């Protein structure tokens, strides 16, 4: 763990953090700009042209990156290894999916003015109560944040109050997402069962199948990532964030000093869940489907790998990790699908054993080599 200076001198170390933020935001916006220019201005057929498929793919990666930032916030700074963040991601996605389903209106296969196709298929005659209101965009978008936030609030309240931490928390978060996956697979739940929600048409009046909407979603996701990053950065550099780090490194001591540790944990956990929900909501219109497989424990644990590979407790490491792993996944599953699980498994082992600080750790080490004096002052 990095040694943390006392809080009175905190702003002294802030510039490093600030610079990381500046560099990160700079790189992110440059990337967004370059992709947009290459997509719009460069004519098709030119080797530099970025096609709509790639823009969509990058948009997907960006929503994953936001999800990874959310996980890094709780794992990196709070020491809570959540193996169930996929659940919050999926719930946010379902909230968005429900809105998109209602937008289909009577253009579904069965042409029912209100009920989505799968409900007509199941012979339901009216909309279940929890589907009410999702035809209004503001309500659905609020639910994107509130639904995962509420689940995290209840779950976290129970867990942190009784001081369930460490491995135990990891295991029950995994059980949580597993239970939700089984529940969402049931047709009776009213979320489309196995097939999930799909066949979306438009979002806020924009046709989801047009390339311009895809570019817009890509940019929106990029902006959301930037905002999420800044929010997390603000949390971890505030006094609140320092209590979090103290909790991570010595929970009992922090409690003895007089902090109500569980409240800090609960607050950060809920914020992280909401960010994950937002990521899910941005993910769904870009891939065009949401189904219970997003709840699978494997997906949740994969998110943790992104963070571990990028380097925990850096935030930007989580983004790097999400990008790298998902790019590798795209390449591998395209070229040799059988090898992907080998590669993923090997990454888990190698990262934890050989690269505990991830890619960000490597970057920092390089920095330190170049400018040894600064590090000395900072750690002294």
Site of interaction with another protein (CB under 8 A): 81, 155, 158-159, 161-164, 166-168, 170-172, 174-176, 178-179, 182-183, 185-186, 297, 301, 304-305, 308, 338, 341-342, 344-349, 351-353, 356
Distance, CA of 339 to CA of 363 (rounded, Å):
28
How far apart are the C-alpha atoms of 273 and 80, rounded to whole Å? 13
**Using the 8-state DSSP alphabet, how is residue 3 labeled?**
P
Within 10 A of 94 (CB to CB), how many other CB atoms are there? 29
Q: Is 258 exposed, middle or buried (0-12, 13-18, 19+ CB in 10 A)?
A: exposed
Q: Which is nearer to another protein, 164 or 220 (CB)?
A: 164
Q: How far is the CB of 353 from another protein (least distance, A)?
A: 5
Calpha distance 287→289 (Å, rounded): 6
| Identity of the residue, 237 or 293, whose beta carbon is nearer to another protein in the bound complex | 293
> Which C-beta is closer to another protein: that of 113 or that of 337?
337
Shortest CA distance to 351 belongs to which of 315, 378, 316, 324? 324
The structure tokens listed for 372 are: 């040894």
Q: Which is nearer to another protein, 172 or 378 (CB)?
A: 172
Q: Label residues 220-246 b or e (16+ Cβ within 10 Å = b).
A: bbbebbbebbebbbebbbeeebbbbbb
CB of 188 to another protein, least distance (A): 9
Identify which of residues 50 and 83 has a Cβ nearer to another protein in the complex: 83
Compute the least distance from the CB of residue 354 to another protein, in Å. Answer: 9
In the complex with another protein, the residue whose CB is nearer, 107 or 263, is 263
- Give Cα 45 to chain centroid, integer Å: 34
Q: How far is the CB of 233 from another protein (least distance, A)?
A: 23
Of 115 and 308, the one with the shorter C-beta distance to another protein is: 308
CB of 88 to another protein, least distance (A): 16
CA 245 vs CA 2, 75, 249, 265: distances in Å: 10, 10, 6, 11
Tokens (6 digits) for 192: 């489309």
How far apart CA 13 and CA 338 sit, in angstroms, is 46
CB of 348 to another protein, least distance (A): 2
Minimal distance in Å, beta carbon 341 to another protein? Answer: 4
Q: How far is the CB of 284 from another protein (least distance, A)?
A: 24
Nearer to another protein, 28 or 347 (CB): 347
Burial of 184 (0-12, 13-18, 19+ CB in 10 A): buried
């Amino acid at each position: 763990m990095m040694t943390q200076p006392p809080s009175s001198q905190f702003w002294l170390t802030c510039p490093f953090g600030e610079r990381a933020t500046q560099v990160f935001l700079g790189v992110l916006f440059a990337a967004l700009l370059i992709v947009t220019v290459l997509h719009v201005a460069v004519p098709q057929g030119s080797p530099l042209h970025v096609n709509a498929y790639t823009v969509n793919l990058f948009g997907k990666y960006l929503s994953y990156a936001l999800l990874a930032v959310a996980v890094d916030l709780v794992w990196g700074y709070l020491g809570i290894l959540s193996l169930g963040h996929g659940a919050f991601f999926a719930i946010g996605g379902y909230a968005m999916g429900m809105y998109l389903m209602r937008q289909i209106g009577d253009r579904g296969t069965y042409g029912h003015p209100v009920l989505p196709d799968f409900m007509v298929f199941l012979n339901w005659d009216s909309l279940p109560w929890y589907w009410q209101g999702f035809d209004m965009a503001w309500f659905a978008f609020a639910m994107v944040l509130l639904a995962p936030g509420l689940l995290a609030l209840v779950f976290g309240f129970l867990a942190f109050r009784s001081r369930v931490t460490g491995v135990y928390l990891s295991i029950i978060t995994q059980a949580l997402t597993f239970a939700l996956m089984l529940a969402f697979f049931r047709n009776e739940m009213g979320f489309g069962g196995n097939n999930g929600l799909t066949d979306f048409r438009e979002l806020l009046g924009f046709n989801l199948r047009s390339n311009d909407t895809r570019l817009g979603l890509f940019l929106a996701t990029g902006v959301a990532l930037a905002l999420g990053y800044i929010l997390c950065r603000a949390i971890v550099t505030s006094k609140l964030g320092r209590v979090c780090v103290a909790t991570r490194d010595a929970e009992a001591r922090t409690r003895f000093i007089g902090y109500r540790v569980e409240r800090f944990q609960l607050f950060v956990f809920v914020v992280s869940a909401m960010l994950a929900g937002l990521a899910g909501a941005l993910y769904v219109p870009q891939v065009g489907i949401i189904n219970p497989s997003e709840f699978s424990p494997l997906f949740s644990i994969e998110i943790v790998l992104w963070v571990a590979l990028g380097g925990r407790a850096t935030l930007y490491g989580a983004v790097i990790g999400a990008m790298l792993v998902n790019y590798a996944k795209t390449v591998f599953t395209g070229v040799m699908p059988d090898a992907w699980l080998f590669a993923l498994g090997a990454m888990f082992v190698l990262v934890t054993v050989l690269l505990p600080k991830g890619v960000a750790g490597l970057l920092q080490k390089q920095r330190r080599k170049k400018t040894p004096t600064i590090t000395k002052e900072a750690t002294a």
